[in-house]
């Protein structure tokens, strides 16, 4: 607003300055025009008057030539009579040789014209070609106090000529008759006029018709003769006099005055016309300039308004984006699952840290039934509120479908169809969905373009990226059939899910965090509970990024498989008595568990392993866990003791083909266990020996 005011003021100032310049130019131009008009008028009038006098004298001279007939000497009396008849002041008859042989003026008689500085010009008449020669008024040769004008006309064949002379003083009588008709309708400019007054009496002989009744003399017009600047017109017309200002007929006028034939000639141009010219010029310029300025103003205003609107739009957009991000963040955080009730079979923990521009990360976990738990991590394309809303849709769809179908691959196939059916914004998402069977440790999963999770085994078995054959991203292409895959978690194993916010976090050198660093971090904390695993990874990523802004959401999810649901577990003293009680306990389980067919084998295994613990490990107690998984047709025995680290699997099997006297007796028990079980594993965990034996139910 302020800027507009400034521009308006500047425009007004520029406008005023340009008008002032135009005024000055207009003034100069008007003055020039005035001078030119007056010049033109003066010359025109002078030429007209002079022409009229020449015409009159020419007529007189030719009349005299006709009367005289040829150059002969005539008496002065006759010449004086002739002059009177012709109403002329002087008449001379001149011979071919240029001698005045007859005149009404005795002073002229016998004068030789040829060679005279002034008169010689008339000698052209003797060539038989030139008819008349005229001279302007000039001081009279005999009496320089007055001026006279001479004109001569030749006798036929150039045989001498007649010269007539007019005394300037006589013009007062002649001029009114020849000038009246010239001046009456003579206009100078639009309303200007010419005044002509007798030099002696001041009587006006010319007067514009509109003023005829008002003034009889020059003084009555308001003309101040004393202040005038008169001049004589000289034949060459170079002296044009000076313009002066007078008040005539009640208005200021620019004037020129010249003297001619005893008369004052005054050219009068009202000042009003001078102003008119300037006013028209300046007004036209002002209007044109105004139009240009208005056009420029409108254009500039539009430009400013557009730019203001743009600025406002961007400002609004920024604040709206900020608001959007807050809303998006709220949606995203509120979409995360509430903690599920503690379950002895697994531990799960997850964390999502939204970036400033909120990406579309989400995770979810929920119990499907008593022995299945679903967990997933996904990343919606795009950022902000659109991504957040799409995330809500996708999350709800996945959960509902998975609750109904239980199978990750079928779920993704169905969810993909649903998302593709209505996806105007062309969003898409990656997702890794797993369902853990708590009885078997088998994770069924399906992947829609998501980062490979990490399976975290014991320290010995280490970490492993589950690099499966992934399906395409969700909502991208309909008709996709996702492939179901499985992996197996042993008791104690964990699985770690994450989004690309982890692996694609960058340090100050723009290097990615990457999978190797993730694996290292997970290895270092492989025994930790899920919550700690998540914290460790987040801390390592944060340390790696240093001060770099978090570009994308960072999501981590860790789950550890702890125990089979409904597992039987009891702890016994590490004595022979303890072994007997464990055997009784096994009987108890077998009688409830529908695994009677395995009774003998289970007892043998129990006997072998427990006696090993009691004899060799100096343990105080040992725990026996018996898990029966009918669905998987397997029985699992887990023996844990607090004795010295001892891995029974590290021994080589005894040679069972030696003769009896050389046959070693040790190691046979474990050999049997190995042969009877479908899997056998040892790990040292939390200062305990853990031996896991699995048997297939036939």
Judged by the rule CB under 8 A, the positions of this chain that interact with another protein are: 576, 579-580, 583, 599-601, 603-604, 607-608, 610-611, 656-657, 659-661, 663, 665, 668-669, 671-672, 675-676
DSSP state of 381: S
Write the CB contacts of 93 (distance below 8 Å, at least 6 apart in sequence): 68, 71, 72, 73, 74, 79, 100, 101, 102, 103, 160, 161, 162
CB 310 within 8 A of CB 302: no
Q: Please choose, from the candidates 253, 233, 234, the residue with its C-alpha nearest in 3D space to the C-alpha of residue 243.
A: 253
Count Cβ neighbours within 10 Å for each residue of 315-354 and write b for 16 or more, e otherwise. eeeeeeeeebbeebbebbeebbeeeeeeeebbbbbbbbeb
Smaller CB separation from another protein, 403 or 672: 672
Rounded-to-integer distance, Cα 136 and Cα 629, Å: 150
Smaller CB separation from another protein, 157 or 664: 664
Smaller CB separation from another protein, 324 or 607: 607
Q: Are strands 230-232 and 251-260 parallel, antiparallel or unpaired?
A: parallel
Smaller CB separation from another protein, 657 or 686: 657
Q: Are strands 147-154 and 161-167 parallel, antiparallel or unpaired?
A: antiparallel
CB 582 within 8 A of CB 573: no
Rounded-to-integer distance, Cα 553 and Cα 502, Å: 8
Smaller CB separation from another protein, 518 or 695: 695
Smaller CB separation from another protein, 456 or 579: 579
CB 189 within 8 A of CB 35: no
Rounded-to-integer distance, Cα 680 and Cα 638, Å: 10
Write down the least CB distance from residue 581 to another protein, Å: 10
Write down the least CB distance from residue 493 to another protein, Å: 30
Q: Please choose, from the candidates 225, 167, 238, 165, the residue with its C-alpha nearest in 3D space to the C-alpha of residue 199.
A: 225
Write down the least CB distance from residue 620 to another protein, Å: 19
Write down the least CB distance from residue 658 to another protein, Å: 8
Write down the least CB distance from residue 594 to another protein, Å: 18
Other beta carbons within 10 Å of 257? 24
DSSP, collapsed to helix, strand or coil, labels residue 526 as coil
Longest dimension (CA), the chain: 205
Write down the least CB distance from residue 666 to another protein, Å: 9
Write down the least CB distance from residue 591 to another protein, Å: 14
Write down the least CB distance from residue 595 to another protein, Å: 14
Residues in the chain: 698
The structure tokens listed for 555 are 């999501």
Smaller CB separation from another protein, 420 or 676: 676
CB 346 within 8 A of CB 557: no
Smaller CB separation from another protein, 367 or 676: 676
Write down the least CB distance from residue 601 to another protein, Å: 7
Smaller CB separation from another protein, 567 or 605: 605
Smaller CB separation from another protein, 487 or 579: 579
Rounded-to-integer distance, Cα 318 and Cα 390, Å: 22
The structure tokens listed for 669 are 């028990």
Rounded-to-integer distance, Cα 534 and Cα 518, Å: 11
State which H helix or E strand residue 680 sits in: strand 679-685
Strands (E), 574-646: 621-629, 634-641
Smaller CB separation from another protein, 72 or 655: 655
Write down the least CB distance from residue 622 to another protein, Å: 14
């Amino acid at each position: 607003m302020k800027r507009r005011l400034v521009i308006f003021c500047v425009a007004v100032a520029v406008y005023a300055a340009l008008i002032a310049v135009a005024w000055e130019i207009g003034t100069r131009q008007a003055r020039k025009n005035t001078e030119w008009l007056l010049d033109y008028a003066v010359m025109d009038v002078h030429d007209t008057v002079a022409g009229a006098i020449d015409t009159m004298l020419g007529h007189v001279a030719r009349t005299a030539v006709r009367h005289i007939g040829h150059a002969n000497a005539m008496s002065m009396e006759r010449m004086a009579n002739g002059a009177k008849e012709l109403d002329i002041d002087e008449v001379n008859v001149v011979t071919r040789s240029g001698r005045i042989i007859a005149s009404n003026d005795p002073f002229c008689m016998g004068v030789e014209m040829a060679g005279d500085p002034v008169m010689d010009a008339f000698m052209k008449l003797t060539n038989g070609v030139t008819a008349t020669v005229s001279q302007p008024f000039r001081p009279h040769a005999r009496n320089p106090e007055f001026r006279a004008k001479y004109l001569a006309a030749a006798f036929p064949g150039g045989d001498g000529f007649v010269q007539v002379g007019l005394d300037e003083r006589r013009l007062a009588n002649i001029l009114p008759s020849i000038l009246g008709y010239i001046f009456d309708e003579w206009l100078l400019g639009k309303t200007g006029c010419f005044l002509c007054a007798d030099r002696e009496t001041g009587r006006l002989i010319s007067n514009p018709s509109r003023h005829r009744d008002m003034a009889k003399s020059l003084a009555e017009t308001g003309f101040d003769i004393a202040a005038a600047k008169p001049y004589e017109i000289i034949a060459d017309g170079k002296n044009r006099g000076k313009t002066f200002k007078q008040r005539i007929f009640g208005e200021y006028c620019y004037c020129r005055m010249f003297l001619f034939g005893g008369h004052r000639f005054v050219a009068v141009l009202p000042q009003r016309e001078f102003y008119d010219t300037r006013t028209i010029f300046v007004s036209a310029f002002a209007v044109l300039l105004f139009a240009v300025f208005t056009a420029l103003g409108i254009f500039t205003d539009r430009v400013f308004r557009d730019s203001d609107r743009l600025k406002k739009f961007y400002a609004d957009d920024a604040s709206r984006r900020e608001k959007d991000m807050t809303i998006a963040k709220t949606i995203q955080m509120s979409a995360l699952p509430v903690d599920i009730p503690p379950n002895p079979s697994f531990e799960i923990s997850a964390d999502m840290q939204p970036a400033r521009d909120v990406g579309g990360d989400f995770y979810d976990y929920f119990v499907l039934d008593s022995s299945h738990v679903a967990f997933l991590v996904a990343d919606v394309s795009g950022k902000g509120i659109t991504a957040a809303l799409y995330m809500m849709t996708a999350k709800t769809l996945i959960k509902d479908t998975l609750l109904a179908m239980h199978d990750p691959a079928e779920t993704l196939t169905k969810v993909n169809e649903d998302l593709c059916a209505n996806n105007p914004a062309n969003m898409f998402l990656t997702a890794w969905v797993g369902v853990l069977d708590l009885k078997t440790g088998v994770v069924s999963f399906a992947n829609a373009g998501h980062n490979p999770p990490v399976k975290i085994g014991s320290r010995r078995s280490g970490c492993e990226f589950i690099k499966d054959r992934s399906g395409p991203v969700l909502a991208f292409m309909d008709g996709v059939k996702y492939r179901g895959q499985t992996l197996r978690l042993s008791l104690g194993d964990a699985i770690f899910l994450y989004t690309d916010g982890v692996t694609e976090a960058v340090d100050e050198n723009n290097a990615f965090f990457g999978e190797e660093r993730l694996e290292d971090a997970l290895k270092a904390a492989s025994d930790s509970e899920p919550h700690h695993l998540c914290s460790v990874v987040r801390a390592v990523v944060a340390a790696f990024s240093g001060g770099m802004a978090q570009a994308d959401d960072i999501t981590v999810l860790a789950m550890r498989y702890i125990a089979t649901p409904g597992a039987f577990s009891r702890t016994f003293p590490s004595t022979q008595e303890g072994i007997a009680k464990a055997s009784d306990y096994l009987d108890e389980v077998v009688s409830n568990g529908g695994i009677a067919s395995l009774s003998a084998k289970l007892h043998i295994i129990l006997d072998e392993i427990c006696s090993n613990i009691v004899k060799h490990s100096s343990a105080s107690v040992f725990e026996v866990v018996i898990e029966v998984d009918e669905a998987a047709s397997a029985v699992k025995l887990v023996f844990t003791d607090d004795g010295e680290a001892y891995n029974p699997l590290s021994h080589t099997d005894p040679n069972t083909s030696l003769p009896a006297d050389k046959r070693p007796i040790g190691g046979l028990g474990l050999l049997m266990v190995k042969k009877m079980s479908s899997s056998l594993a040892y790990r040292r965990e939390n200062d305990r020996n853990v031996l896991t034996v699995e048997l297939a139910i036939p």
